[in-house]
């Protein structure tokens, strides 16, 4: 299982603490340190839509030029997320069962049978 995010994100910290407290083994992948590729995003998009994955509430989104935000589709959203990984809603939990975006303790507990 891989938990994707950035280490200083509060929501990612909550997810990491929850996994550790519940003895859920995971590998942490920091977008900023470890990078991100299109194949990984496409794997996630098999389970969630690009609209769920793209965080339009992020500071990065708010700082984008208006022309970059207009006429979005999956291809342009992927391009934006690859250029600016902080546009991805965090964390992304990826395992053999698929992927989950964001952290919700109830959802994690249900996913892991806790």
> Is 19 noted as a catalytic residue in this protein?
no
- Which one of 2, 9, 48, 78 is the catalytic residue? 9
* pLDDT in single tens digits along all 114 residues of the chain: 999 999 999 999 999 999 999 999 999 999 999 999 999 999 999 999 999 999 999 999 999 999 988 889 999 999 999 999 999 999 999 998 899 999 999 999 999 988
Tell me the whole-structure pTM to 2 decimals.
Answer: 0.92
Residue-range domains of the chain with CATH: 2-112 (3.40.30.10)
The b/e string for 17-48 (b: 16+ C-beta within 10 A; e otherwise) is ebbeeeebebebbbbeeeebeeebbeebbeeb
């Amino acid at each position: 299982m891989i938990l994707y995010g950035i280490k200083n994100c509060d929501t990612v910290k909550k997810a990491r603490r929850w996994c550790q407290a519940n003895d859920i083994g995971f590998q942490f992948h920091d977008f900023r340190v470890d990078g991100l590729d299109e194949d990984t995003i496409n794997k996630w998009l098999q389970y969630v839509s690009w609209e769920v994955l793209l965080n339009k509430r992020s500071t990065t989104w708010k700082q984008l030029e208006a022309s970059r935000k207009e006429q979005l589709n999956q291809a342009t959203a992927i391009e934006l997320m690859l250029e600016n990984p902080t546009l991805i809603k965090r964390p992304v939990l990826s395992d053999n069962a698929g992927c989950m975006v964001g952290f919700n303790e109830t959802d994690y507990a249900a996913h892991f049978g806790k």
